[in-house]
């Protein structure tokens, strides 16, 4: 199962998820000017980052919005990036956050689990109802595919809906988490975690240990590290023996070269250094908690 492969990647390569949220502004100007098209520039930038980090990364999260915003050329760069990760035997998390019902959800599932935009995991938004998840399950049942369903996100606005108290005096996100774990029960791998995981931001660390305790079979995609304010100790609360989740960083890795004098020429080197440092910091925090 795909979750077993991801679990092994965390065990061997560390828990870092490299976020390829590649904006044109993030690409060094001299590198960008070498290419005649945006498609080629983005693809080549991503390929160098993948090559530099794959041995210290559990997976790569590709946020589709950055590519959709550039139209057809951007989507071609998106496809080529997915193809390159697959060529390098990496694991792809397509960050698409879809949430719709019936035939619409079926088409989203087909679009991102088959064909040009095929990925290993996708992110979904369940807050329109859990029937929006149903059309994706046949790919989890029959293929090496997985889901990361939004539970408690890292943005400040998460409190607008996810923190509303229900009659049982639990928060909405607690109830959603329970439903995610129940849904994932029959999709568990040998590692003990399910291929149906949850997105849990690390910027609200005070609830972390309770979430981990309640969702003991749920693998986490953890955004919010670094640029959004999450720290290694916040992340460690979501992990079990250094595993059970992957920790995404996008801008912190993509823009690591900006911290160095004349770092633009070796942007991939500095991205690698950032990933290695992030891995070591998180692993140390997991051991000390």
Measured between alpha carbons, how far is 222 from 198 in angstroms, rounded to an integer? 8
| 97: annotated active-site residue | yes
Measured between alpha carbons, how far is 97 from 132 in angstroms, rounded to an integer? 12
Measured between alpha carbons, how far is 173 from 162 in angstroms, rounded to an integer? 5
Measured between alpha carbons, how far is 86 from 247 in angstroms, rounded to an integer? 20
Q: Which residues pair with 171 in a beta bridge?
A: 165
Query: Which position among 5, 11, 79, 97 bears the catalytic label?
Result: 97
CB within 8 A of 138, min separation 6: which ones?
A: 109
Distances (CA, A) of 146 to 8, 49, 51: 15, 24, 24
What is the number of alpha carbons within 13 Å of residue 94 lying toward its C-beta?
Answer: 28
Measured between alpha carbons, how far is 39 from 33 in angstroms, rounded to an integer? 12
The secondary structure of residue 171, as a DSSP letter, is B
Positions annotated as catalytic residues are: 97
């Amino acid at each position: 199962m795909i979750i077993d492969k991801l679990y092994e990647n965390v065990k061997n390569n560390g828990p870092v998820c490299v976020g390829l949220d590649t904006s044109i502004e993030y690409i060094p100007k001299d590198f960008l000017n070498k290419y005649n098209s945006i498609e080629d520039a983005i693809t080549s930038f991503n390929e160098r980052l993948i090559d530099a980090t794959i041995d210290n990364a559990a997976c790569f999260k590709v946020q589709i919005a950055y590519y959709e915003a550039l139209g057809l050329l951007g989507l071609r760069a998106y496809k080529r990036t997915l193809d390159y990760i697959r060529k390098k035997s990496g694991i792809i998390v397509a960050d698409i956050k879809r949430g719709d019902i019936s035939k619409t959800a079926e088409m989203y599932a087909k679009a991102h689990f088959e064909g040009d935009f095929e990925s290993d995991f996708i992110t979904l938004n369940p807050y329109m109802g859990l029937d929006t998840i149903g059309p994706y399950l046949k790919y989890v049942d029959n293929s090496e595919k997985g889901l990361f369903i939004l539970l408690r996100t890292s943005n400040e606005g998460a409190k607008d809906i996810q923190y509303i108290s229900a009659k049982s005096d639990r928060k909405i996100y607690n109830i959603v988490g329970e439903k995610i774990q129940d849904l994932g029960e029959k999709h568990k791998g040998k590692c003990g975690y399910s291929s149906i995981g949850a997105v849990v931001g690390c910027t609200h660390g005070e609830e972390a240990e309770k979430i981990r305790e309640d969702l003991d079979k749920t693998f986490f995609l953890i955004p919010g590290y670094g640029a959004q304010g999450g720290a290694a100790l916040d992340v460690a609360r979501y992990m079990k023996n250094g595993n059970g989740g992957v920790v995404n960083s996008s801008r912190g890795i993509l823009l690591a070269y900006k911290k160095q004098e004349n770092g633009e020429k070796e942007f991939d080197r500095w991205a690698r250094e950032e990933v290695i440092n992030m891995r070591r910091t998180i692993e140390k925090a997991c051991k000390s908690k």
